[in-house]
Structure 1
């Protein structure tokens, strides 16, 4: 189990480039299974979760050529489908939640797809019903082996397009159904589809491969099935979760930081939400400039004067992946804020570690926490803690960088799952952080 030692309480300065988007990469990589032709993907982040998926694809028989940092060519012209029944596949697939998205492409192209119950963050229940109900709507049969915790879908006679209303606007669920439907016979209509930038990017990539997907960017997708897809080249967006993390880091450490090449048009409510905490965010071309908040930052209130409430929602609402960052930033704000995590019931449980550091937080229930900001009148105290998941991990790291003294964070593999070469990038802007094996 890896460990970070962090000497906090230092102001940082400089430029930082966000990595490629983790959540987009997991979808895009699965889409290479839809064609036998070459697919080139650029800006792939070098992180544990993505590398695990690349390894799984390689074990499945995908030919992979690395061209340079973040750029690969994939060719799925001779897949070993027997791998899907192997013990190695059960091990590979169960260690990564994103592995669920290989099922749609395999079902679409080969009429069958299998996956062990996938792993990932321990942040509460994350149902897979949307995925499999979508496949069933397209004509696939479904089975689940409880003893082996193994899912399977089969459509030996092919898939047929259908209208469906999704029970929830699941991003990965929508992506999986879209990939299954692109070569289904007839027209598929998906209402209440997710419309996150990751999903938009997937649809644009599939259209460049020859798919016919209409309504991209809306919650109503219309897909006309085609008989085959070809190759393409695709570049992954900068990771908006990382961008939000660096905004929070700048505010908490009173640092002057420029976040470069952020693709502003894809950030949605992220800048607006951080501004609600009083953080100054300047747009400079396609960069974000955060000045040093030496006088702190003040939480806004609603028009009627009531306490600010920040909650997550499906896109274009505020992403749940950044609520942990917002909560940490609020601990040093001037004023109070209610954080409402609607989508995952265990994601706020890391606040006990912040309370140990001296933060004033009332955990109301598994979904809500009230934060009373210190306004920097007292700093957080350095401590020893363990990272429970990716987003809580980066939030605790930001807290440690703002706290005076030396903090220790164990289980940093959780952070490595989502953040590329993080200690070197933080050191480049002045952070004092060391990785201890």
Structure 2
């Protein structure tokens, strides 16, 4: 097991380039299964979760060719469906939650798709009902082996239908889109997720010959087509990483420029950080954060405490709430964090309290943070990263803290952030990896 050793209290300076978006990449990679033709994808992040999925695609028979560090070609013209029911796949697939999204394209193209119960972050219950209810609505038969915790759907022919999703699940919407695009007839998905990553998936499929309208809204209309062809696609920059670097700059009083952020796809993210008092400027398609000695929380007009809550897009993404929580510990003022979508993502606050933060955990969904306004810096400590987003939040806290901190279980951070030590060292961070 590897660890990070961080000497905190240093200001950073320079430019940092966000990696490709992890959550988009996981969807886009599954979509290569929709066609036997070659698909080229660029700006793929070199992170554990994405590399696991690329490995699974290779085991499934997809021809994978790496052109450079972030560009691959994929050709799914000789798929080994027997792998789906092998013991090896049950092990490979269960270690990655994103593997659930291979089911939709396999069902659409080959009439069957299987998946072991997938893993991922331990951030609360994330059910799969939306995925399978969507497949059943399209005409698939569902089966579940309770002893092996193995799911399966099968259909000779999928048929378009109208469906109202019980939740605006991003991965559920992606999976249903990929199943419906080769179905016979028209599918209307109400209460569809409309995140930029879903928009990207829809645009990619349309470039392959699909017919999806309503892109960017919560009503998607999919006219089924006979087949799809190859395409070229570029993954967006990762909005969660962009938010992470904004928070890092504020906590360490640093001057940073985040390059090529695809500003128009960031939604509420810049505005939420500005409400926390963080100065940031748009320069072309870059975000410039000047060094500032303090940042003051903007209360509501009536004087009540600022609440930052997550919500489906275009609301604020839940993946950045842990970052906002850490930033608030050194703000001037108080903030209420309301994590509505997952019940276990706030349980890392005990580590921040150990570092000297003033945080009141109200319940599994809410925490009140009383900002220290940099008058009392966080203190270095030894921590364990519980999941990707809490892990990067603790790393940001350690970079701002006095003394040397150690973070164990950093494989969790590696799952979502590529070459993080080298990239942070390039802007002046005192961080090293210890195996």
Aligned to 1:428: 426
Q: Distance in 1 between matches of 2:50 and 2:31?
A: 14
CA distances 1:374-395 after superposition (whole Å, capped 9, x unpaired): 0000100000000000000000
Matches within 5 A, 1:227-376: 227-294=226-293, 296-376=294-374
Matches within 5 A, 1:114-133: 114-133=114-133
Aligned to 1:112: 112
SS at match of 1:136: helix
* 2:105 paired with 1:98: no
SS at match of 1:435: strand
SS at match of 2:202: helix
Q: Distance in 1 between matches of 2:85 and 2:314?
A: 39
Q: Distance in 2 between matches of 1:430 and 1:75?
A: 41
TM-score normalised to the size of structure 2? 1.00
- Cα distance, 1:343 vs. partner? 0.1
* 2:214 paired with 1:218: no
Q: Distance in 1 between matches of 2:406 and 2:359?
A: 21
Aligned to 1:381: 379
Q: Distance in 2 between matches of 1:293 and 1:387?
A: 28
Gaps of 5+ in 2: none
Q: Distance in 2 between matches of 1:53 and 1:397?
A: 26
SS at match of 1:222: strand
SS at match of 2:103: helix
Aligned to 1:150: 150
- Cα distance, 1:293 vs. partner? 1.1
SS at match of 2:360: strand
Matches within 5 A, 1:9-158: 9-155=9-155, 157-158=156-157
Deviating 4+ runs (over 3 angstroms): none
Output the aligned Cα RMSD. Answer: 0.3
Q: Distance in 2 between matches of 1:367 and 1:383?
A: 25
Q: Distance in 2 between matches of 1:286 and 1:377?
A: 34
- Cα distance, 1:69 vs. partner? 1.5
SS at match of 1:164: strand
TM-score normalised to the size of structure 1? 0.99
SS at match of 1:370: strand
CA distances 1:387-426 after superposition (whole Å, capped 9, x unpaired): 0000000000000000010000000000000000000000
Q: How many corresponding residue pairs? A: 435
- Cα distance, 1:288 vs. partner? 0.1
SS at match of 2:326: helix
SS at match of 1:272: helix
- Cα distance, 1:218 vs. partner? 0.2
CA distances 1:254-288 after superposition (whole Å, capped 9, x unpaired): 00000000000000000000001000010000000
SS at match of 1:108: helix
Q: Distance in 2 between matches of 1:416 and 1:183?
A: 35
